[in-house]
Amino acid sequence: MEYQRTITCEHNFSGIGLHTGESASVKIKPTSVNSGIVFIRKDIPSSPQIPALVDNVINTCRGTSLCIDGIEIKTVEHILSCLRGLCIDNALIEVYGSEIPIMDGSSCCFVDSICSKGFQEQSCERSFVTPKEPLYLSDNDSSIVLLPCDVFKITYVIDYNHPVLKTQMEEILIEPRTYMNYICMARTYGFIEEVQYLLDNNLALGGRLDNALVIMKDGYSSPLRYNNEPVKHKILDLIGDISLLGAFLRGHIIAIKSSHKLNVEFVKLIKDRYLNSIYTFLENFYSGV
């Protein structure tokens, strides 16, 4: 039996948004059982709340963005990855700005702060989704498979036609120890050839050499933190996207050249298969049907 948990105290972070280039700050706060992960836009007078659920995804271009009633929060995947990687069920994330600050391009700043203060086990059992049959989704040469498994495990393959970065693969059990030691320091990355395209499309306006790993024609912009850092960052992103299911997943995900778009579509597939009947029951119950 596993119980839900939250954090013990407030954690504060500030920086710039990767894509907007604008200053932003966040406060991660503890909250009660069954609250889930909820973002709050504190820079807006009404302080609208945006639950971290797949139905609230509005954009998956170079990141995952959530939106309710026209109020958006961009690039949520790293902070969500941290919370899921550390097995945190319930937290409030107060956001001052339209994008989560990119920090150093990984999730380690969030992880280090939270781990330094610890966690609070709560009185309610954790919810799990445990598929009993395989699920599969593809988009051109990208694909994701979910296989039955009694733990949460990810196998990820990237493959590029590039002189520096070609094929990398990683398989890893996702739990707090492995997340802290082998995943959380992996930085977001991009190719030098993409930079002008991104800027022309108002993307990566806050990209810097201290918050991203740039892949040049003859090497990397800075020393690697892991020998296969790019594929590990893809796993980091995938964990954040999978957390939008709203329940912990037990299963083995095999992802080949996946993207935020495919990740989110796959979460919707899992939700439709395993959670919609539960959501419908709860909606009917609370509406008195």
SS (H, E, C) the chain: CCEEEEECCCEEEEEEECCCCCEEEEEEECCCCCCCEEEEECCCCCCCEEECCHHHEEECCCCCEEEECCEEEECCHHHHHHHHHCCCCCEEEEEECCECECCCCCCHHHHHHHHHHCEEEEEEECCEECCCCCEEEEECCEEEEEECCCCEEEEEEEECCCCCCCEEEEEEECCHHHHHHHCCCCCCEEEHHHHHHHHHCCCCCCCCCCCCEEECCCCECCCCCCCCHHHHHHHHHHHHHHHHHCCEECEEEEEECCCHHHHHHHHHHHHHHHCHHHHHHHHHHHHCC
Whether 262 and 142 have beta carbons less than 8 Å apart is answered as yes
Interior angle at CA 26, CA 22 and CA 27, nearest 5 = 165
Strands 37-41 vs 49-51: parallel, antiparallel or unpaired:
antiparallel
Task: Measure the CA–CA gap between 218 and 192, rounded to whole angstroms.
Answer: 11
Which residue in the list 11, 78, 252, 260 is annotated as catalytic? 260
Catalytic-residue membership of 252: no
**Catalytic residue positions?**
260
